[in-house]
Amino acid sequence: MNEADLKPAADRLPYQGLPARRLAEGFDLLKGFKVIDLTTSVAGPVCTLLLADMGAEVIKVERRETGDDARSWGPPFLHGDSLWFLSVNRNKKSISLDYSKAAGLAVLHDFVRTADIVVVNQPSRIAKKLGTDADTLTALKPDLIYVSITGFGVHGDRSDQTCYDLVAEGYSGIMDITGELDGDPQKIGAPAADMLAGQDAAFAAVTALLARNRTGSGRVIDIALVDSMTRFLMCRIVPYMGSGEVPRRSAGKDSVIAIYQTFQTADQPLTLGLGNDGIWRRFWDVIGQPMIARDPRYQSNADRRALRAEIVALIEPILKQRSCAHWLTLFRQARIPAGPINRIDQVVDDLHLQERGLFYRLLDGDIDIPQVGTGIMIDGRSNSPRSAPPELGQHTAELLNEVLQYDRETVQRLLAENVI
């Protein structure tokens, strides 16, 4: 039993009550493939986390003294480690390497020759300067899958601009349609552009691997945060392009579905989506107003959109009469899409999500940290961690010896030259 298990519940950190998972084999769909991760922050590490979670061997190459930028992102910290870093770096091995030096670049290139995929998040000018650009690395290994993740892509007028998630969200249009009608534009409450770009990069890398199995050829993949975030808005952008109607901020109360928003109940708000005629009729039956469903003015979604404000005014006072739990019970029974608006602590406490392996406590010797799972079930089971997020340079000697088969004298020379 871990020491934290003996603490009174009130004294525990939130993760210390989660289901515990020790290291196991985990998913092995990409077992045998090797990934060199030259990225930092969030988007690139998300990409390589997904590849690692699916079984790939990921070698995380970090700066000698500071490592991944996210290692310093805090507070909050846990056991001296950034929780942001811990969230996206399990199942990887870390090597500290200064490849701005010729000797370090030679080591990196040796690793590239062993790899199937290389992931970078440097603007093309910087990558070329450092010897990590696509032309250089694919010349070393022609069947390499080279994945670049940048703010704006590797070509064009903006290719050299630096970018963070916040900047990408602003460019994409998502901030302009998020928030109150008369309020300021708002960033999404998570690094959405980073997460989407990381997922796109992982997806593209795996499809390139499949193509390589057929053709024998590598690929150069160009992922841009702004592209990924903008594609996220396709269901708002295409209607604009085909209608000329520019979407505006509406506090989430404007949708192609007539009634698709939050409502206040007697205690807590809930979400409600009346997405088709059957749901529309069942809703009014459940709340005791079946005649409204038969009103000829409300017979199609287009009709209801035209009279949205009028319908919302009918629904609001009814839902305020009873509690959120009361309505959600009735709506669940009647198959009406609705749900609570959970705080993060309530999400983590959700037993259904815990049972699906989404939240757990990773235990490995003295390591005891919170994790969010892969979020994918395969053959009826969730994933298991193969290793905890690494300490900076934790696997340097191991990787030089086992992957590159460097002898002791070579490793000592690299140490003396401050390359590793």
Catalytic positions, written as ranges: 194
Q: Count other Cβ atoms within 10 Å, centred on residue 189.
A: 8
Rounded Cα distance, 203 and 45, in Å: 14
Token pair 């349609």 in the structure block, residue: 177
Rounded Cα distance, 45 and 51, in Å: 10
Rounded Cα distance, 172 and 353, in Å: 31
Residue 219 and residue 208 in contact, taking contact as beta carbons nearer than 8 Å: yes
Q: What is the DSSP string of 87-134?
A: HT-TTEEEEE--TTSHHHHHHHHHHHHT-SEEEE-S-HHHHHHHT-SH
Sequence-distant (6+) residues with CB within 8 A of 22 are 362, 363, 364
Three-state DSSP class for residue 223: strand
Rounded Cα distance, 412 and 397, in Å: 10
Cα separation values, 268 from 7, 273, 343, Å = 32, 17, 12
Rounded Cα distance, 158 and 170, in Å: 15
Rounded Cα distance, 91 and 124, in Å: 28
Rounded Cα distance, 348 and 193, in Å: 23
Q: Which two tokens stand for residue 19?
A: 């289901």
Rounded Cα distance, 140 and 109, in Å: 7
